[in-house]
Amino acid sequence: MTPVLQVANLRKSFGGITAVDGVSFEVREGEILGIIGPNGSGKSTLFNCVLGQLTPTEGEVRIDGKPTTGLRPCDLNRLGVSRTFQLLQVFPQLSVRDNLILAGQEHQGTMASRLFGAADAGLGEAASQMIEFFRLSHVAAEPAGSLSYGQQKLLDAAMAFMAGPRLVLLDEPAGGVNLTMLANLRERLQAYHAERKATFVVIEHQMEFVMALCTRVLVLAEGRVIAEGLPQDIRKNPIVIEAYLGH
């Protein structure tokens, strides 16, 4: 079966500095891949090359076997690729429900259908389902900016999954979230994966979050892959302990 995501010999240089140095990996359907590494290891640059925010210096990216290297984020949206960012991308003045409807519109329809279609763009029922699934019913009508940071992170994740994407890339979803809300976020992501067989990739500094959530882990250091395997094997890998846990 063709992997959902294939990254082959990806390299990205900025002047004389190589941030990503020949990285290759695959993500199979229904898998949760975690990408970890110390600060400066190239995680965010790698993500941005995959997602079209940066153009790789060398290498290739494929979605479902189709070359997508250098495609714009909006083009990737149409192929069913969604993401979250390190910095929250919610619209603080809009309600939780309207944030979800807006996120869904990014992946479907035309400008004409948005201007002249139903007020909820036909996404009201899907938004209600996501609100219930991510346990945001009690704040559905509240402005997103009034939510706690942890609740906004839940909303951010719900927005990424709103259109039933083929692949979701989550950029440090645990960042700044307290332990109670972090457990809730992890449990919701695990439940979504179990119910929808969703495929996603997570980059994260929070080691325990990655080890508990992901089915496979890739470790970067200085722009290169230094280890790849099951969470329990990565946790005790001496190369990983030296490069990552030792920092």
pLDDT tens track for 26-58: 999 999 999 998 888 899 899 999 998 999 999
In the structure encoding, which two tokens stand for residue 236, read together? 């005790």
Nearest to 82 by CA among 186, 181, 167: 167
Tell how far CA 68 is from the center of its chain. Answer: 17
* Residue 180 pLDDT grade (very low, low, confident, very high; cuts 50, 70, 90): confident
Looking at the chain, the whole-number percentage of residues with pLDDT higher than 70 is 91
Q: What gap in Å lies between CA 241 and CA 247, rounded to an integer? A: 9
In the structure encoding, which two tokens stand for residue 155, read together? 């909303």
Going by the DSSP 8-state scheme, the letter that residue 108 receives in this structure is S
> What's the pLDDT at 107?
54
pLDDT tens track for 73-128: 888 888 889 888 777 788 999 999 999 998 888 655 444 343 334 455 568 888 99
Report whether 170 contacts 201 (CB < 8 A).
Answer: yes
> What's the pLDDT at 234?
92
Q: What gap in Å lies between CA 212 and CA 69, rounded to an integer? A: 31
**246 against 211, higher pLDDT:** 211
> What's the pLDDT at 110?
44
Query: Does the pTM of the predicted model rise above 0.75?
Result: yes
Diameter of the chain measured on Cα atoms: 59
Range name among 96-110, 136-150, 221-235 with the lowest pLDDT average: 96-110
> What's the pLDDT at 119?
52
For residue 33, give the 3-state DSSP assignment: strand
Going by the DSSP 8-state scheme, the letter that residue 203 receives in this structure is E
- Separation in Å, CA 21 to CA 51, 58, 126: 17, 9, 40
> What's the pLDDT at 135?
92
Q: What gap in Å lies between CA 7 and CA 23, rounded to an integer? A: 7
What average pLDDT is seen over the chain? 87
> What's the pLDDT at 117?
42
Q: What gap in Å lies between CA 237 and CA 211, rounded to an integer? A: 13
